Structure 1
Amino acid sequence: MRAIMLDEREVRAAVAMPEAVAAVRQGFTDLAAGAFEMPVRTVLDEGRFLVMPVHHRPTSSAVIKTLSLNFDRTPAIGGTVAWSELHSHDRVVADAGAVTALRTGAAVGAATDLLADPGADELVLIGAGGQAPDQVRAVHAVRPLRRLTVVATAPERARALIDRLRPELDGVRLEAAADARAAVGGAPIVCCATTATAPLFAADDLPERVHVNAVGAFRPTMRELPDELLAGADVVIDEREAVLEESGEVIHALEAGAITEADLRELGPALAKDDGARAPRTVFKSVGVAVQDWAIAHLLAERVLR
């Protein structure tokens, strides 16, 4: 019996973002095909502790992620992602913060590749926290960027993120900004990765054609997007049951009558039946589901256990 422990550095070394995007894309497609058993995650202490299990039937493998969230510490996410298989005693236990950031970015990459205009090459990222770098890496993997603007209420955090990403973004114009509403005005792609409890901008601040990813709000009390944007956009979500229970944006828009449940499309079926048509405005709303963790853990297991 082997138990392979992987820290953040080892997770990063084992999985590149393009691989992660491909794996998470396939995971959502398999979810749509019924390959996974995935309960809604268990939320404890008002969201400070999360437990996310998932079972992949074709491989008889399972992942359980257990994490704590504290945005007053760095990094904010702590915990483990544990991989096990029915036919083996071997297992992998990986750093939950690294896996979560990687798989959250990868889902955004898959959704952006599906929904953003093929020629979109400018990204406005709102938020400069732990999830932010992988939002940029994922979008850049599917829509090579010409320009990146990082918006943060503390300018020094935006500049620090830009300095961190600069070696990975050769030839990309890099800018910092403090006003989200002004920054999104000409952006074909917007990523929101904040802990906001009120919309970050108005729908009218956005251009006529835009794709927006929102991954920061994961509790009903949190919101990054306005109702008017969801009402006028093609809205794709990661998983219906999870979003209806946890997404403040979706819950608020439903209660306000801005949208109905019929207006929500899940990512897996959308990927499986992509007809190439794109609405002028598209939104990907994700609260994060365990299939994403399984996809990254599967890559890790293939590399360290085989």
Structure 2
Amino acid sequence: MKVLSAQDVRRAVPMSTAIDAVRDAFRELAAGNFVLPPRQIFGDGSVLVMSAYHTPTGSAVVKKIGIALDEVPAIRATVIWTGAGDQLVADGGSITTLRTGAVVGVATDLLAPADASRLALIGTGAQAPDQVRGVLAVRPIADVIVTGRSADHARALSKTLADEFPEVKFTPGTDIDDAIADADIVCCATSSTAPLFSADALPGRVHVNAIGAFRPTMRELPRDLFATASTVLVDQQEAALEESGEIIDAVDSGTLQRTDLVELGPALSTPPASTGRTVFKSVGIGPQDWAIAAALARA
């Protein structure tokens, strides 16, 4: 049995490898090669259990997550993976942030303008750095504005990322509308329960990723954004309709129809419209964890 720390995960699976692995996993999901039970939710979302079984290889992953948004770190998780005589137990917090950054990289590569150079990041928590890493892996980003409620946290994260990516300009701030006004790509990674901005604050041509709201009571995106988007991409329709507060609100209000939601797996074979405004909303599903764990098992 392999037992892997957060540092082990980072050393074994760089972001480019994670993006390729997650992209392949979504293709496998679209092909019907996963058994994917519904996520189990306990304590009003404070404990989650996710699993996935890959039928061609007979391998499986189970992840237990404890979430406390008022603590640091907010996510504490463990991943168990079994397959072909191998078994590993790994730090689930690092896998969660890595696979979430990777799926944003996959979606951004699919929908964002090829010449996108300006990224606005909203949020400075544990998920935020991998959002930037995922986007930088697929687009020629030159400028990143890092925004958060705390100016000190925005400055600290900007410095950390600037040290990692010295060729990119990082600017900290707290004004979201100012940050997104000229953005080509926006990444939202917060625990907000209310929309972070209005659609009017966005450019007419922009790709928006939102990964922070994972409960029906949470919302990062405004309803009017969905009304103006050419494509609304989700990791899985069923999961989005059960867990994403902004998707539930948009469907309940009639702003979106269920049939408007495009799943990522099929979209990789039949790309949707990528003009004007596009949105990717992720709540995270088991095949993403399976993808990273399988890559760790091969490493």
TM-score tier (shorter): over 0.9
Aligned to 1:13: 11
Query: Does residue 1:81 correspond to 2:71, yes or no?
Result: no
Give unmatched runs, 5+ long, in structure 1.
none
Aligned to 1:262: 259
Aligned to 1:167: 163
Contact 1:78 1:97 in 2 (8 A): yes
Separation (CA, whole Å) in 2 of partners of 1:189 and 1:116: 7
Residue 261 of structure 1 deviates from its aligned partner by 0.4
Provide the TM-score with structure 2 as the length reference.
Answer: 0.98
Query: Does residue 1:46 correspond to 2:63, yes or no?
Result: no
Given candidates 43, 55, 58, the residue that maps to 1:57 is 55
Separation (CA, whole Å) in 1 of partners of 2:6 and 2:71: 17
Separation (CA, whole Å) in 1 of partners of 2:252 and 2:202: 23
What number of residue pairs does the alignment pair up?
298
SS at the partner of 1:201?
coil
Aligned to 1:30: 28
Given candidates 172, 175, 199, the residue that maps to 1:203 is 199
Query: Does residue 1:227 correspond to 2:250, yes or no?
Result: no
Give unmatched runs, 5+ long, in structure 2.
none
Separation (CA, whole Å) in 2 of partners of 1:259 and 1:274: 20
SS at the partner of 2:278?
strand
User: What stretches of structure 1 move > 2 A for 4+ residues in a row?
Assistant: none
Contact 1:126 1:180 in 2 (8 A): yes
Residue 182 of structure 1 deviates from its aligned partner by 1.9
Bigger shift: 265-274 or 189-198? 265-274
Contact 1:238 1:267 in 2 (8 A): yes
**Letter in structure 1 aligned against 2:87:** R
Contact 1:40 1:241 in 2 (8 A): no
Aligned to 1:120: 116
For residues 103-132 of structure 1, what are the alpha-carbon distances to aligned partners after superposition, in whole Å with 9 as ceiling and x for unaligned? 000000000000000000110000000000
Contact 2:68 2:75 in 1 (8 A): yes
SS at the partner of 2:187?
strand
**Letter in structure 2 aligned against 1:254:** V
Contact 1:67 1:78 in 2 (8 A): yes
Query: Does residue 1:302 correspond to 2:298, yes or no?
Result: yes
Residue 39 of structure 1 deviates from its aligned partner by 1.2
Residue 40 of structure 1 deviates from its aligned partner by 1.6
Contact 2:50 2:62 in 1 (8 A): yes
SS at the partner of 2:146?
strand
SS at the partner of 2:191?
coil
Separation (CA, whole Å) in 1 of partners of 2:225 and 2:278: 9
Residue 142 of structure 1 deviates from its aligned partner by 0.2
Contact 1:129 1:193 in 2 (8 A): yes
RMSD value, Cα: 0.9
Given candidates 244, 266, 270, the residue that maps to 1:273 is 270
Aligned to 2:135: 139
Bigger shift: 94-103 or 156-165? 156-165
Aligned to 1:98: 94
Separation (CA, whole Å) in 2 of partners of 1:50 and 1:154: 28
SS at the partner of 1:301?
helix
Given candidates 181, 188, 192, the residue that maps to 1:185 is 181
SS at the partner of 1:52?
strand
Residue 79 of structure 1 deviates from its aligned partner by 2.1
Separation (CA, whole Å) in 1 of partners of 2:45 and 2:114: 37
Separation (CA, whole Å) in 2 of partners of 1:160 and 1:299: 31
**Letter in structure 2 aligned against 1:133:** P
Residue 232 of structure 1 deviates from its aligned partner by 1.3
Residue 274 of structure 1 deviates from its aligned partner by 2.5
Contact 2:159 2:170 in 1 (8 A): no
SS at the partner of 2:72?
coil
Contact 2:193 2:220 in 1 (8 A): yes
Contact 2:162 2:169 in 1 (8 A): no
Residue 145 of structure 1 deviates from its aligned partner by 1.2
Separation (CA, whole Å) in 2 of partners of 1:78 and 1:278: 35
Separation (CA, whole Å) in 2 of partners of 1:121 and 1:181: 18
Residue 263 of structure 1 deviates from its aligned partner by 0.8
Aligned to 1:250: 247
Aligned to 2:144: 148
Contact 1:11 1:98 in 2 (8 A): yes
Q: Report the identity percentage.
A: 53
Residue 183 of structure 1 deviates from its aligned partner by 1.3
Aligned to 1:239: 236
